[in-house]
Amino acid sequence: MDINVNELKEKLDRGDNFILIDVREPHEHEAFNIGGKLIPVGNVMNAIDDYDGHENDEIVIYCRSGARSGMAQQLFKAKGFTNVRNVIGGVLAWQDM
């Protein structure tokens, strides 16, 4: 189940409890980010174990456009995570909002 940037902004503004992950590269994260934990997409497989115990928690993943975060979403789902959401359009859509 994906999420659009407007829904994500509402969740952040409300202070909803969820895990936010940025799968871009460090230089992209430094240039602009919306507060997600940085886990470059190439490191996602190794980092998934850090989220043991959160398999049913809401996890929102973003990247520049939604492509890398879509891959990361599939990796989490393959490991049994049930509520992983990809930000449609990524940071580009966020900046256009």
Q: Parse the chain into domains and list their residue ranges.
A: 5-96
Mean of the pLDDT values across residues 35-59? 97
CA proximity to 19, closest of 31, 8, 4: 8
User: 19-49 burial string, b = 16+ CB within 10 Å, else e?
Assistant: bbbbbbbeebbeeebbebeebbbeebeebbe
Q: Residue 33 in contact with residue 22, Cβ under 8 Å?
A: yes
Q: Output the pTM of the full model.
A: 0.96
Q: Which CATH superfamily is domain 5-96 in?
A: Rhodanese-like domain (3.40.250.10)
pLDDT in tens, 62-96: 999 999 999 999 999 999 999 999 999 999 999 99
